[in-house]
Chains A and B, each alone.
Chain A
Amino acid sequence: MTIDIKKVLLLGGGPTNIGHENELDAAAFERLMALKKTGAKIIYVDDNAFSVTTEEIQPANVYVQEVSFQNVVTIIDKEHPDAIMATTGGLNGMQIAWQLAESGILASNNITLLGIKPADLRKVMDNQKLRDTLTEINEKVIASKIVADDDEAMDFVREVGFPVIVKPMSSSHDTSRFICNNTDELEDALDVSFKRTYIKRCSIEQSIVGYKEIEMVGIRDANGNKILISGMEDMDPIGIHSGDSIIFAPTQTLINEEYQALRTATFRIMDSLNITGTCHVQFAQSRTDSNYFVTKVSPFFTRNTILAAKATGYPLTYVSSFLELGYNLTEIKLPSRYSKFLAFMEPTMDHVVVKIPLWPFRDITDVDQHLNTLMKSVGSTIGIGRTVEEAIIKSMHSSQFSPRDILPSVSTVDDDDVINQLIHPLASRILILMEALHRGFSIDELSELTQIDRFYFYKLNQLLRAQDFVVNNPLSPQSIEIGHKYGFGDGMLAELWKVNISKIQQMNENYKNHVTYKAIEPSAGEFLECTNVFYSSYELENESRPFTEKSALVIGRGGNQLGPNSAADYYTSQILRSLHKCGYKTIIMNTNPNAVSLTPQLSDKQYIEPIQLGNILNIIELEKPDVVILPGNRHYLSKQLKQFKALNIIVLPPDQKIATYNQKKATTAVDLFIEGNEILPVTTISFVGKDQLTDLRFINDYKEPMDNWESDEDKLIANASKNIDTHEWQGLVQVLYNTNGDSKYEMTGIRPVRITETAFLTKTTGINWINVLVRKYLGKLDMVSLREDWQPTEHKRSAIMTAHFPFRELQSGRSEGTTKQEVGSSLSFKNFE
């Protein structure tokens, strides 16, 4: 029976941080597209400064506010929604839902919580109740206890022995778990944990370090029908946070009996919680027998829920929206590109997906960089291939900070250090595993040391052997064939052989080694051509047909790191939207499974391929796009691509004739848009630095319009317009000023408006400046209507964008960060007094 709703409050995921990237915004965005079909009015709350979802809703229905219990209560009082969807708000969203249920607000306002009933939600959010529920259905959980002080913890340890794991209860984020092998470590862990818990309780449990970590994502409808979307296997054992693990989909080292047992357990858990929608369950699977424990139940959107959808091509977010509304699986009508059966078929894969996390240690160095139970990664990339090796190498390429097509070497690490890093892994984990194999460590020995299944070492060994063969047989057709099979790509071959990539392309032509693209779809070839997502392999059949209409290729930014990455995802999404409006068929290439820009509704075709020269050229060769757009300052890539004269490449933000600006200090800025000789003022900004810092590297907060705008804005804009040379500057440009607060402004420099601020301007001024830039460089800008639309000095409210840093999550002592250390930003509006 479907639930009839007129008005639904959708909870957003908030600014990106460790623990969640853009996937919640991507889920909310897709969900919105599905909900629009129901005719329900949608209210959305989110303060993520780079949310794509908020763009798609009537501004009057968007609350740009922190997703908190108090704010949600206020919105409920004002809007009187008849339902709440909290699952796209992640763990935070579910905690708010729980508080709403416990406080009686849902009942008294007659609001239906979608996805899970309040009574069942309690069973998930309260650790003890979850244990009771699981025990009732004969699912095993590890011995654990909730303790209120150190003495109780010690009593528990005397019973079960070390090692144990300590977790704060109801903490603000899901990342903290501490393994303790002795009393000292336990005391430290309790110390930190008691500081983090809202309710002065910690849980302490038996450690299952070394078990395999298996993740299952399933869906269930109101009739109790269930589908397993995907099983996933963490290569790293329990002991390394799943968010910091290299993950494989499908599972690689489970036998059928084990796999089916976990699948069945997932279904039983969903039944016991009466879930209508999606559920992500994590298991610890013994390496020696069929024993397993349930370690985590998440009936809401998580990174790996989205990964399961991306890996299989199953339209999970779309389907689960209707499941939450009470539809049965067989009643859901999919968008026309899908086979009509796909919604209720269990996905089956004929490819391998590998996800590698990205860590922020290049930008934040003063933290413990070991991978352990505390999650530290800020992003991830995936590699997809038809062989396990191909998927591994592609994901490794995609995870490199350098766009150069070669893997970094760790050959200088000495033997002792290799052993040390095998036992206490760092971010270079997978390179060290390969290096150890290279140095002759036996597979059994390595498996013993790392608790990683032997299977993975077999695969890494194959890769090493393939690489040796390729290096020792340069420019031979057989080397190219082997290289391609193992996912090396033409760019990597060119680097290994130190030749120009065009040489390899010529050989491919001569030997007819053509790249083929395979669809990512959930039927493993049973239904023909039912999705528009592709990855490459070198095989017989190519399934990707180039568009006959004019088309544009947008080269995505890859995995999230610190800095402007979630802003860049927003920027990329808006570019796609803009190109679509300009009549182009849009093609996006990206590797970040959590990127909004990869959602199927935002482009006509998606390629999940490493952002490397060889892979880009292959796609261009097939698609022959009329324009290639490269968002972000990627000088190496833009230089490489520009060698190919026939390509129409647009770099956004545009390269300026002068790349540098004079001063490093500023308090205020005038943003201008320059088209030819015409200068259009956009707005003014005040920079807000912590402790009155005016060093631009430390400026992370922006306010629009500038302070004292009533008195100072006009003259500053006039000054900026006078000082800018339109021969040298085009597009969005920022003129920087310094002031001591005395209305005397000293111009300190000029720079292009950065991606983060372009997103901010788009959010605050009501003009989509990304769209304006795209149109400008496509030669389709209509200046007349832009002039009419835009009144720069008519400010009705002030907007503030505040950067967030992951210092607390990483247990760094820092409080202030540079622009390179930002993990996300929040947005807020304030009416003038």
Chain B
Amino acid sequence: MTERYLILEDGSAYAGKAFGSLATTTGEIVANSTMNGYQEIISNQIYHNQIIVFTQSSIGNTGLDQNAYESILPSAKGVIVREYENLATDHFKRISLDRYLKQHKIPGIYDVDTREIRHHLQRRGNMKASIVDVADDHAFDQLHATVLTNQQVAQVATPKPFPNPDEGANVVVVDFGLKSGILRELSHRDCNVTVVPWNFSSAQILDLDPDGIVLSTGPGSPANLPNSVLDMITDVQSQAPLFAIGLGHELFALANGAKITKLTVEHHGSNHPIREIITNEIFFSGQEQGYAVDPKSIDHAKLFITHVDLVNGTVQGLRHRDYPAFSVQFSPDGAPGPKDSVGLFDDFVEIMARRRDSNDDRY
């Protein structure tokens, strides 16, 4: 068992044992407190450039399931856990967590006090970290010198459009680092999906004659994307129902004049109650967020807040006053996390149907 180190930008070093790949990597370190779905978490493109600390003390218990990948080529920079189990449950009992991480060149460290790391991050906030062989000055120098790319979306989103055919509503999904959960939910509702690259123009999107448009989740700051993306959103939101999730939600807010702030401590988990303002109901959902819409910056002539996080007060949902366009910060697809708000996809399909019907009336 190789001893390796997790080193943090603030000078902390944690000795642990290696599993997965033996690569040396650098990324932002974040803690995720969701108890189920390590496979979904690791394969979510939102973790591009990030090292994930699992607060759940033991992962790998159920192997890897062909139906539970959130992307085919995961891009997380590391996995930190107290303990992992190297069990395979696929037909040939081949693919265990260790093997999966090796395949995708993701290093892992176990046998570390992840609860202490969690506390540390709560106190000190987000920072860079590396997984290295030796925790010497050289390693820390490298860590400090590393500049993480701001071209994250371009690195994980599809460069070419592709279809996911079905017989229902015609949905264009704009891929900013799409998680499969969104496609699964659209498929459950028979949507005829076309996934298009993040830099598709509004004209290219509208040429596909969508009944509705989804702006997907994805990694990094929305500020890293060019203004052309915001222009695309302002163009399409008046033309077809729009549902934006995660990074898509942040972009939707930006396009409508709101500002985005970076959270001191990223929130990754499914334990925060989210209040739906109109019904006053609270529910839970997977949340993976490093950024939030600044509520003070919202132009109330254009947008109104539909959901808030009751713990950190962040905006969790927005709706446009003039168009059938709405967005949520959290992941209603429940991969992983509770499916309490999966009905948002039904709402979206219903809005598309109503829109189609009213259009039919016109002709």
A19 within 8 A of B: no
Contact B58 A348 (CB under 8 A): no
Contact A541 B35 (CB under 8 A): no
Residues of B within 8 A of A253 (CB): 61-62
The contact of A256 among B36, B87, B111, B273, by CB within 8 Å, is B36
Contact A350 B118 (CB under 8 A): yes
Contact B34 A388 (CB under 8 A): no
B85 within 8 A of A: yes
Contact A260 B57 (CB under 8 A): no
Contact A345 B272 (CB under 8 A): yes
- State in angstroms the CA–CA spacing of A225 and B275 once bound together: 10
- State in angstroms the CA–CA spacing of A239 and B349 once bound together: 44
Q: What are 24 A-B contacts defined by CB distance under 8 Å?
A: A250-B36, A253-B62, A256-B36, A263-B339, A267-B340, A344-B273, A346-B270, A346-B271, A346-B338, A348-B55, A348-B56, A350-B55, A350-B118, A351-B57, A387-B58, A387-B82, A388-B58, A455-B61, A455-B87, A458-B85, A524-B55, A525-B55, A539-B113, A539-B115
- The smallest beta-carbon distance between A644 and chain B, in angstroms, is 30
Residues of B within 8 A of A386 (CB): 57, 82-83, 115
Contact B68 A257 (CB under 8 A): yes
The contact of B281 among A225, A254, A346, A454, by CB within 8 Å, is A225
Contact B36 A255 (CB under 8 A): yes
Nearest CB in chain B to that of A527: its residue:
B122
The contact of B119 among A225, A351, A455, A541, by CB within 8 Å, is A541
Besides the contacts A260-B336, A459-B85, A526-B33, what 6 more A-B pairs have beta carbons closer than 8 Å? A255-B36, A260-B334, A352-B57, A386-B115, A458-B85, A525-B33
Nearest CB in chain A to that of B336: its residue:
A256
Contact B282 A329 (CB under 8 A): yes
Contact A225 B83 (CB under 8 A): no
B40 within 8 A of A: yes
Contact B83 A350 (CB under 8 A): no
Residues of B within 8 A of A264 (CB): 338-340
A347 within 8 A of B: yes
Interface string of A514-529 (1 = CB under 8 A from B): 0010100011111010
Interface string of B115-132 (1 = CB under 8 A from A): 110110011000000000
Nearest CB in chain B to that of A257: its residue:
B68
A145 within 8 A of B: no
With A255-B36, A346-B273 as contacts: A524 and B118 at CB distance below 8 Å: yes
- State in angstroms the CA–CA spacing of A349 and B57 once bound together: 8
B172 within 8 A of A: no
B37 within 8 A of A: yes
- State in angstroms the CA–CA spacing of A241 and B311 once bound together: 39
B241 within 8 A of A: no
Residues of A within 8 A of B90 (CB): none
A502 within 8 A of B: no
- State in angstroms the CA–CA spacing of A250 and B271 once bound together: 14
Nearest CB in chain B to that of A519: its residue:
B115
A485 within 8 A of B: yes
Chain B: residues with Cβ within 8 Å of the partner, total of: 50
- State in angstroms the CA–CA spacing of A252 and B36 once bound together: 9
Interface core residue of A224, A263, A345, A346 (most chain B CB under 10 Å): A346
Residues of B within 8 A of A226 (CB): 283
Contact B122 A223 (CB under 8 A): no
The contact of A348 among B35, B83, B123, B310, by CB within 8 Å, is B35
Residues of A within 8 A of B337 (CB): 256, 260
B5 within 8 A of A: no
Nearest CB in chain B to that of A385: its residue:
B57
- State in angstroms the CA–CA spacing of A458 and B84 once bound together: 11
Contact B116 A539 (CB under 8 A): yes
Contact B282 A350 (CB under 8 A): no
Contact B115 A525 (CB under 8 A): yes
Contact B284 A346 (CB under 8 A): yes
Residues of A within 8 A of B334 (CB): 256, 260
Query: Closest 4 A-B residue pairs measured CB to CB?
Result: A256-B37, A525-B118, A541-B116, A539-B113
Contact A352 B58 (CB under 8 A): yes
B316 within 8 A of A: no
B280 within 8 A of A: yes
The contact of A345 among B58, B123, B311, by CB within 8 Å, is B311
- State in angstroms the CA–CA spacing of A108 and B37 once bound together: 52
Interface string of B266-306 (1 = CB under 8 A from A): 00011111000000111110000000000000000000000
Contact A525 B310 (CB under 8 A): no
- State in angstroms the CA–CA spacing of A449 and B133 once bound together: 44
Residues of B within 8 A of A790 (CB): none
- The smallest beta-carbon distance between A254 and chain B, in angstroms, is 7
- The smallest beta-carbon distance between A346 and chain B, in angstroms, is 5
Residues of B within 8 A of A777 (CB): none
Contact A528 B62 (CB under 8 A): no
